[in-house]
Structure 1
Amino acid sequence: MATSYGVEVMMYDPEKDDRIAMAAEIAKERNWAVIPSFDDAELIAGHGTAVMELVREVGHLDDVVVPVGGGGLISGSALSAKVFNPNVKVWGVEPAAANDAEQSLEKGEIVTIPSPMTIADGARVRHISELTFEIMKAKVDGIVSVPDEEIFTSMKLVADRLKLVSEPTGVLGLAGIKKLVADGRIERGSRVGVVLSGGNVDLDTFAACLAKPDDAIAQMQAWLS
């Protein structure tokens, strides 16, 4: 689709190549500027407006659950949420195969995953940045990870109940709620805000999601109700 607008698309192998390093090298060769996807203070501040709008619309929240890739969205969300309510808990959710942020917070240092292969392509980040790591350490209450199967279930639930097309990374927050409650991090009856962060999904992936057996969706609907 991007090529139809005259954009030059450069492909990379996620199992072998570092896309961030590739972008930096190309920018240097062509005298371009790299627009970061998460490692930028102004971008993080912009991400924070999502939770700001959420709180202004729905009022008090006990917990906020956010997808995690490079950490820009959850960093901005946490900073924003705690301005409105210092006691709010902010939780992140990653794919199990790409849980570098979860491991980083547990170990107290940035962890790199060489080949983070998951259906949630927006979270295929080898490691978070120093900036997002420091913000998450200070403001995020915890991160959990979920298998791709849970991500697919959440995509179909969002399509069925909200009539929205969501990408795998975008529904990570919803996919992680069950685990957060099961672990005792979120109490039943709490007011929980979930950030659904995107709808950039190809038709084949979305069709595979819709083909998922309805019993899995029914189980999740029953659990959430």
Structure 2
Amino acid sequence: MLELADIEAARERVAQTARGTPLEYSHTYTAMTGAEVHLKHENFQRTGAFKIRGATNRIATLSEAAKEKGVVTASAGNHAQGVALAATRVGVDSTIVMPEHAPTAKVKATENYGAEVVLHGANYDAAAERAHEIEREEDRTYVHAFDDEQVMAGQGTLGLEIVEECPDVETVVVPIGGGGLISGIAAAVKGIDPDIRVIGVQAAGASSAAPSLQKGERVVIDDVETIADGIATRSIGDRTFAHIQEYVDEVVTVTDAEIAVTMVYLLERSKTVVEGAGAVGLAATIFDAFDYDEGEVIVPLLSGGNVDMNTLTTVIMRGLVEMGRYLKLRTVLKDRPGSLEELLAIAAGHGANIYSIHHDRTSREIELSDAEIELELEVRGHDHADALVDSLRQAGYQVEQLD
């Protein structure tokens, strides 16, 4: 089991590559929750995520002979970039196996950090299988993304920073994918003060930690489905499970809708980009996934900011829908001059802003004298949207609200 001394020893090694990241009090989320919320911005870390810490510590603790032979790993994202940069900084050769359909931006970023990228397989499991083949063929050291004590100790340096930057912290909220991050952080903060509460958060569509704790053994789920791709694992690790059992007070889940809304809040209120996995801790706090007291000092960890731009566009729209600020309606008008103007006058009277109008006379589901209309509108919230829909229905329109 990791102890505080292991994490303190990792700190000097980690500092060779990783940087300390800011921890900031948030007026916005304090007002929203009633707790005293401080955000730990690991999304400002080199490579855009916390993974550089564990990778740096693991590579730094290799023997000289192992460094000469190089390292290998499999990853589709943050771990790939962390290992690549950590290895390059100390002159160690690195090979990263990524799935064939990994985002081009992530492949290029990993190559730019100095790694040789091998594209193999349709998913992470296939990539990992090839990475282990390279490990055996070339006698390289496999750098596991989470189930490794030195990786966990490196991630745990975040816990040291949190307590130093926010000495009054009462609760730390940490994402869980494979469990390496929360294992290190929990060991660190509990080693400093056993009374600090550690809450782990998983996406509801990739939740293996809570059932594992309930059953007393690791549970492997069949499928994962979440926008938080950085924590979309089928199971936590063997070593990390033991640490979660020992150090973590509670594990909760949040939905994709809650994650999307939180990402929008962070963009709009905090002016910061956070990926889905990085937003789950704040989402759990905002949406009351765990109990806390008025004024409790809570530090949600924003663990990374590497989000694909296409994904971010989808998430923003989903978040606006969930917040009631994007409304999509369908109705049928008589196909005559002035009909559309009458409809739009009601929307304008409510102060709704029109994103787009789709006008279709060809639908086989309507009469020949009718036209089907789809409206996409910007509104101010659920109450505003409901008032607009009510007015349209009172005016005689058959309105269908679309997802």
State the 1:60 CA deviation. Answer: 1.3
| Residue of 290, 297, 310 corresponding to 1:191 | 297
Structure 2: distance between partners of 1:160 and 1:13: 35
Provide Cα deviations, 1:73-119, integer angstroms capped at 9, x if missing partner: 00011011112221111000001111011111111110001321211
Change (3 A) 1:56 1:75: same
Q: Distance in 2 between matches of 1:177 and 1:86?
A: 21
CA shift at 1:70, angstroms? 0.4
Q: Cα RMSD between the aligned structures?
A: 2.3
Amino acid at match of 1:216: M
Q: Hey, what's the Cα distance between the residues in 2 that align with 1:138 and 1:54?
A: 20
Identity of paired residues, percent?
Answer: 37
- Within 5 Å, give how 1:17-32 maps onto structure 2: 17=125, 19-32=127-140
TM-score by length of 1: 0.86
Deviating more after overlay: 49-58 vs 66-75: 49-58
> Paired residue for 2:249?
141
- Residue 183 of structure 2 is matched in structure 1 by 75
Once the two structures are overlaid, the 10-residue window that deviates more, 85-94 or 23-32, is 23-32
> Residue 122 of structure 2 aligns to which amino acid in structure 1?
D
Give the whole-Å Cα distance in 1 for the aligned partners of 2:219 and 2:137: 29
Corresponding residue for residue 204 of structure 1: 310
Q: 1:214 to 1:157 in 2, by over 3 A?
A: farther
Which structure dedicates a bigger proportion of its chain to strand?
2
Structure 2 residue ranges without an equivalent (≥5): 1-104, 325-379, 382-403
Match of 1:216 in 2: 323
Does 115-124 or 190-199 show the bigger shift? 115-124
2:278 to 167, 170, 192: 170
SS, match of residue 117 in structure 2:
coil
Q: Structure 1, unaligned stretches of length 5 or more?
A: 220-225
Q: CA deviation at 1:183?
A: 4.7
SS in 2 for 1:207: helix
Structure 1 runs of 4+ aligned residues shifted over 6 Å read none
Query: Per-residue displacement from partner, 1:177-205 (whole Å, max 9, x unpaired)?
Result: 245x4653x22321001111001111111
Q: Which amino acid aligns with 1:100?
A: S
The alignment of Structure 1 onto Structure 2 pairs a total of residues equal to 216
Given candidates 225, 229, 232, the residue that maps to 1:117 is: 225
Q: 1:213 to 1:60 in 2, by over 3 A?
A: same
* Greater Cα radius of gyration, structure 1 or 2: 2
Q: 2:289 and 2:226 mapped to 1: Cα distance? A: 23
- 1:145-156 → structure 2 map (5 Å cutoff): 145-156=253-264
Distance 1:162 1:9 in 2: 37
The C-alpha deviation readout for 1:11-50, integer Å capped at 9, x for no partner, is 5434x94554443234224433221110111111111111
Mapped to 2, the partners of 1:105 and 1:30 lie a distance apart of 38
The equivalent of 1:8 in structure 2 is 117
Distance 1:207 1:23 in 2: 32
Match of 1:158 among 253, 266, 288: 266
Q: Which has the higher helix share?
A: 1
Aligned equivalents of 2:262, 2:206: Cα separation in 1: 18
Number of the residue aligned with 2:194: 86
Equivalent residue for 1:49? 157
Distance 1:93 1:183 in 2: 10
